[in-house]
Each structure stands twice: as structure tokens, then as C-alpha cells.
Chains A and B, each alone.
Chain A
Amino acid sequence: MTTSTNLVYLIALPLFSSALLLLLGRIADKWGHIFATLISASVFAVALIEFFAMQGRDGLARPATQKIFEWISVGSLHVDASLLLDQLSICFVLLISGVGTLIHVYSIAYMSHDHDRRRFFAYLNFFIAAMLLLVLGDSYLNLYVGWEGVGLASYLLIGFWNQKPAYATAAKKAFVANRVGDVGLSLAIMIAFTQFGTVTFAGVKEGAHGASAAALTAIGAALLLAAAGKSAQFPLQSWLGDAMAGPTPVSALIHAATMVTAGVYLITRSNFIFDASPTAQLMVVSVGAITLLFGAVIGTAKDDIKKALAASTMSQIGYMILATGLGPVGYAFAIMHLLTHGFFKAGMFLGAGSVMHGMNDEVNMRRYGAIRKVMPITAATFGLGYLAILGVPPFAGFYSKDKIIETAFNAGGAKGILLGGAALLGAAVTAFYMTRVIVLTFTGTKRWDENAKPHESPILMWAPMAVLALGSVTSGFLLSSGGALVNWLQPIVNENHENHAEEFLPPLVVSLMALVVIAIGVALAVFKYRTVPLVAPTNVSVFTKAARNDLYQDSFNEAVFMRPGQKLTSGLVKTDYKVIDGLLRMIGWIIQTSSTAVRSIQSGFVRSYALIMVLGVLALVVMVWLVTL
């Protein structure tokens, strides 16, 4: 452990900039975007300095901490607002600030026609601050603050154009779905506190050794619920598609590269809990496997380019979650896939944004076609991202995704075959839907609107795309050469140097199998989309209809949760009105009617008062007389 004094700047800088831009208002319109971008770049610089400093230290001295202040000290609960930068968090910090800075640069051009650009940048900076707090917090409670912060940033940015009611609804939907997950996180924190008396990662890790299996499973399940909410995993996946209502840079940064991977971070960070609870691990791999297929299937039927990419994100995060459920060997591959995915998916989203920018914000891929001729740079960067997500060697996805498939097969027994098979099938479907996106958008014939005049985007937009494309090409090789990332993360996620001794399938066979299914997927897509009708055909199979409707996730949620929930609340309101309020109203009614009756005694006639007084005195006299008799 080393103490550092720089960590707080990682969060304070963007937070300050965000507050400044929001408080200054229109005064900052002229320079707000430049300022925010510079702040983001300086955060990246601090992150780089810390990264190299960490590399210079060795072994146990690598993690750095900084205590900012004593936050809570109540009874036996002591929580410091302190930060922890270890081998795991630095990966995230570099990804968030690096990709974040690129997307800030991109947004300068992308949002140049929006008169609320300053507010947009303020929110982006706020997001960076919250996300960094999420990955830097040294306890579950600190993480929770960042967790809620990114939820707020996501809500604000999805609903950035909230003048359109549909977008405002999408923001609200994301917020509510996230809230369900947040319940899981707060439950996990509470259980951890009651079990271990502390909520720091180190304390919980220590306590987890001697904890009961039931408690660990409960914490694991609650954490998984939290991860499912934030990372759009089954069964809380429905918000991500609608979250595409936000501006495209937001989709790239928050809903592809960083925030939605917070669930993977949470599970990886809590590896000591999941490693000790096979039941929780089984839940994790099930959720991962279901979601990776779920997202892939939805991706095959979406005509909206951003929604297709969103479904793909859901599916890729499914891969990561699957990997985190595979025990100590899986975490490093999950993080590796997370990092490579951060590059190629952010790059592809920015590419989609670039296409939309040139096509009057058209998102329907059936109205695209042959765009590679007018936007060669966008097409090239998107293509590199495409090769990376498919897992074609030597692009990034090959190194990360094949490792996950391999590890899944190695899980052993029927479970291994099932998970490996699901991952392999997912790879084939991924190849199909990504090829579909490429074919519909960049090749084939023009199907544009006659008003559309597509043109290549300005350098401020294509330069970040180029950098991300470079990452999509090289990051996989760099991260895996010599087991770089695996060794780097070993002290955090795999202390005991565990490795699966038996290999179900040798890596080469897995890679070959993956390549074969990918080739099949690509060939199917190319064959199927030789001609593209302008309007989606309606006489399609049940499965296509289901996929177009997001596999009826919304209808399911509506029928199972929303309507009964509404019935329950309206029933409760009625009960409250009739029973609880009714009781109180009855008391009021009794007093009112009885006092109306009694009030008539007060006639206002002095003589009747005098008479009553006389009678009263007489009565008293009689009583005294009777008593003394």
C-alpha cells in the first residue's frame, strides 16, 4: 500500500468543471466545451502519471490510497471517504478518462449546432467524476455514491433532448430500471455490514473467509442484481435500447464503453465473495449466458443502427459477466474484453454518430447503403471495429472473446459445454448482426432520402474515431502479449495463482471453431442482405417479430410488474382513502355532529343562562343538603 495525494484530483477536477459550467450558465457558452475537454484531458494525464508511478512500484506496494475525510462515524459503522487506486481500478481510470477525452473532442463537433452544448459538456464532466468515484472508492459505500452519480448522469444525458416526450420517457425508464438494481446494491451493503461490521473492500474480503455460505450467496445475489441493473443484463436489460435516445457520444461513452460495464467492475471487485459461493457464481454465468444470446438475437432484427449496436453492447457485456462467473481465471479475461470492447464499441458508436451526422440524423439502416463511398474514413474506422468485435485475428476481440469462450468450455462437465456452446453460438450471431449492420450501412446500393447529402465528418470527429480504431486493432495484442493484463491483475483477482489444469479443448481448436462459426454468420448475413427493401418486410417469422420487439421484454415487464404494480398501488390508495382516512374522517364526523347538537344549548339568551345557573346552584344545594343529612 502506498499513499498518494493525487487521487482526489481525478474526481475533483471534472466535478469542479461541471459545477462551474452549470453555475455560470450562458456566460460559459463560448468556451465551456473547450474547458471541459481540457479538464477531461488533464484527468487522463493525472491517470497516466499514476499509472506509470504504479508500474514503478512492485508487488504489494502497487495499490495507492488516499483518505479524503472521515465520512460516517456512527456506532460501530466507520466509513472514510477514501480512494483506492489498484491494478484493477487503474484499468478503468485509464479507459474512462482516455475514451472520455476522445469523446469530449468528438462532441465538440457533433454538438456544435446544439445551443445547449455547454450543458452537455457539464453533464459529461459530471459523468466522468461520478464514474471515477465509482471505480476509485475503497468501500462499497463510496462505490455506491459513484454508482448513483453515474445513474444520474445517464438519466440527464439520455433525456438531454427532453423536449421530445419519447426521449424523456426513455430517460425515466433507464432511471427506474437502474433503481431496481440499486436496491440490490444497497441490500448487499446492508448484509455485508451486518455480517462483517464493515463495508470496505478489504474488510469484507477478510470477513468473507469465515462467513457462512448463505450470507455469501445472499450478498452475491444482491450484487448480481445491482450489476444486472447497471449493465443492462437479464432480467433488467430493457432500458438500454431506449437509452439510445441520448446524443450519440453519450451512447458511445456511457452506454457502451464505461458506465454499463460498472456491473462487471462490481463483480470483479467482489471476486472474494463470488469465489467463495458457487451458487452465486452459477447465477452469474446463467445471467451472462442468457444475456449474451438475448442481446445478440435482438441485434439481428433492429433497423435502427444505434439500437442494433445497443443490443450488441448488451450481448458483449453478457460475455464479460459470463467470464466473471467462471472463477479466478475468468476475471482477467472479463476485464480484457471490457477494455477492448471499450475501444471497438465506442469507435463503432462514434462511427454511427458520424453517419447520422452526415445523413440528417437518419438512424434507419434501410435508408443508408453505399456510405463507404462518401465517408471513407468513417467506413474504415467502423470496419476495424467490426473486425475487432467479430474476433478476427489479430484484432482486439480475437484475444479477449476467444479467451472467454475457451474459459467457458474449460468450466468442466455439462456446464462447460453449455456455457461454451452459448458463447460460441453468441459469436456466430454476433457475426451475423454486425455483418448486417455493415452491409446495410456501408455497402450495397444507395437508399438515401433525396434530401440527404452525406459527407465525411470534420477532423474533430474522425480523429477520435481513428484513435479508437487503432485501439480496436492493437489493444487485444498489447493486453495479452506475455499475459500482460492477466499478470497485472493477478494480485487482485487471482491471489492463489489458480489455473485450470485440465483443458477441455486446446486454445487453437477453440479459435478455429470460433472462426468457422463467425465465417458462417458473416456468409449468412451477406447472402441474406444482397437486396434490402426500404421498408422492413412484415411477412416474417415469429422469431423475427419477437426479436424486433426486443423479445417482448417490455410487454413482459408491463404484464408482470407494471400492471400488477399499478393495481397494487391503486388498491393501496383506495384502502388508504377508505379505511385509514375513513377512520379519521369518522372521528371528525362524530365530533362535528355531536358539537352541532350541543351547540344549540348556547342560545345567546342571557336569561336562559341565568336560569341554568340558578338551577345548578339549587342542584348543588340539594346535593349538599342530602350529603350532610
Chain B
Amino acid sequence: MDVSNYVYLSALLFTIGAIGVVVRRNAIVIFMCVELMLNAANLAFVTFSRIHGNLSGQVASFFTMVVAACEVVVGLAIIVAIYRSRRSASVDDASLLKR
């Protein structure tokens, strides 16, 4: 099987994630879409690691996972805090900064 198919898959996943971030309102869903984009990037890293025959890409994907884990911790905490104060997880409701 051609290795480049993994790259196409990665691009597809990334696009789905990006569209999800832009079109969905629920913060949890947006968050999941962001995870999808990160994993698409991971897939691309691993693929390119395979193509070039060295391990740099694989190492980078570990970094991404660690960062993603941290992000989940902080991000979920924020979402929960916003939900508690506003009774809503919609990102459009948290638009007070424009004033």
C-alpha cells in the first residue's frame, strides 16, 4: 500500500477537525475536533518519519500527545468553569471581550 495514502488520510482528518471547530457551537465538540486535528498532525508526523526513515517524526508525535494531554486538562477545566457560571457550553455565549 502506498505510504502517501496516510498523508491524504491525515489531511482529511485535519480538514474535518478544522471544519468542526468552525461550525460547531458546543465547546466539548470543538474540543474533540481540536483533538482530531492534533491526531491528524500526529499521523502526518509518523508517516513522514516512515518515509524518511528516521525517528524524529515519531518523537515529535510523543511531544504532541503530551501537549494534548495537558491541553485537555486545562481546557476541560475552563469549559467546566464556564459551564458552571453560565449554564451553557456554547462558545458563542462567551463573547464578552468584544466590548
Query: Residue B94 at the A interface, CB < 8 A?
Result: yes
Chain B interfacial residues counted at CB < 8 A: 14
Which secondary structure characterizes the binding site on chain A?
helix
One of A249-257, A541-549, A602-610 at the interface: A602-610
**Shortest Cβ distance from A618 into chain B, in angstroms?**
10
Contact A604 B91 (CB under 8 A): no
Do A606 and B91 form a contact, CB below 8 Å, given A611-B22, A614-B18, A614-B22?
yes
Contact A604 B95 (CB under 8 A): yes
Instruction: Find residues 572-611 in chain A having any chain B CB closer than 8 Å to their own CB.
Output: 602-607, 610-611
Q: Which residues of B contact A610 (CB under 8 A)?
A: 21-22
Q: Which residues of A contact B18 (CB under 8 A)?
A: 614
Q: Which residues of A contact B98 (CB under 8 A)?
A: 602-604
Q: Which residues of A contact B22 (CB under 8 A)?
A: 607, 610-611, 614
Q: Which residues of A contact B91 (CB under 8 A)?
A: 605-607
Query: Residue B51 at the A interface, CB < 8 A?
Result: no
Report how far A605 CA is from B21 CA in the complex, Å: 12
Q: Total number of A-B contacts with CB less than 8 angstroms?
A: 29
Q: Which residues of B contact A611 (CB under 8 A)?
A: 22
Q: Which residue of chain A is the closest to B96 with respect to CB atoms? A: A604
Contact A603 B95 (CB under 8 A): yes
Q: Which residues of A contact B97 (CB under 8 A)?
A: 602, 604
Report how far A519 CA is from B95 CA in the complex, Å: 103
Query: Residue B71 at the A interface, CB < 8 A?
Result: no
**Shortest Cβ distance from B29 into chain A, in angstroms?**
11
Q: Which residues of A contact B21 (CB under 8 A)?
A: 607, 610, 614
Q: Which residues of B contact A607 (CB under 8 A)?
A: 21-23, 25, 30, 91-92
User: Interface 1/0s, chain B 73-99, versus A by CB < 8 A?
Assistant: 000000000000000000110111111
Report how far A433 CA is from B96 CA in the complex, Å: 88
Q: Which residues of B contact A606 (CB under 8 A)?
A: 91-92, 94-95
Report how far A219 CA is from B11 CA in the complex, Å: 91
Q: Which residue of chain B is the closest to A599 with respect to CB atoms? A: B98
Report how far A604 CA is from B18 CA in the complex, Å: 19
Report how far A491 CA is from B88 CA in the complex, Å: 105
Q: Which residue of chain A is the closest to B15 with respect to CB atoms? A: A614
Report how far A604 CA is from B22 CA in the complex, Å: 14
Best-surrounded residue of B22, B25, B92, B96 (most CB of chain A within 10 A): B22
Report how far A611 CA is from B92 CA in the complex, Å: 14
Q: Which residue of chain A is the closest to B25 with respect to CB atoms? A: A607
Q: Which residues of A contact B96 (CB under 8 A)?
A: 604
**Shortest Cβ distance from A307 into chain B, in angstroms?**
71
Report how far A603 CA is from B91 CA in the complex, Å: 12
Best-surrounded residue of A603, A606, A611, A614 (most CB of chain B within 10 A): A606
**Shortest Cβ distance from A116 into chain B, in angstroms?**
61
Ordered by A's residue number, 6 sampled pairs between the chains whose C-beta atoms are within 8 Å are A604-B98, A606-B95, A610-B21, A610-B22, A614-B21, A614-B22
Please give 19 more A-B residue pairs, beta carbons under 8 A apart, in addition to A602-B98, A605-B91, A607-B21. Answer: A602-B97, A603-B95, A603-B98, A604-B95, A604-B96, A604-B97, A604-B99, A605-B92, A606-B91, A606-B92, A606-B94, A606-B95, A607-B25, A607-B30, A607-B91, A607-B92, A610-B21, A610-B22, A614-B22
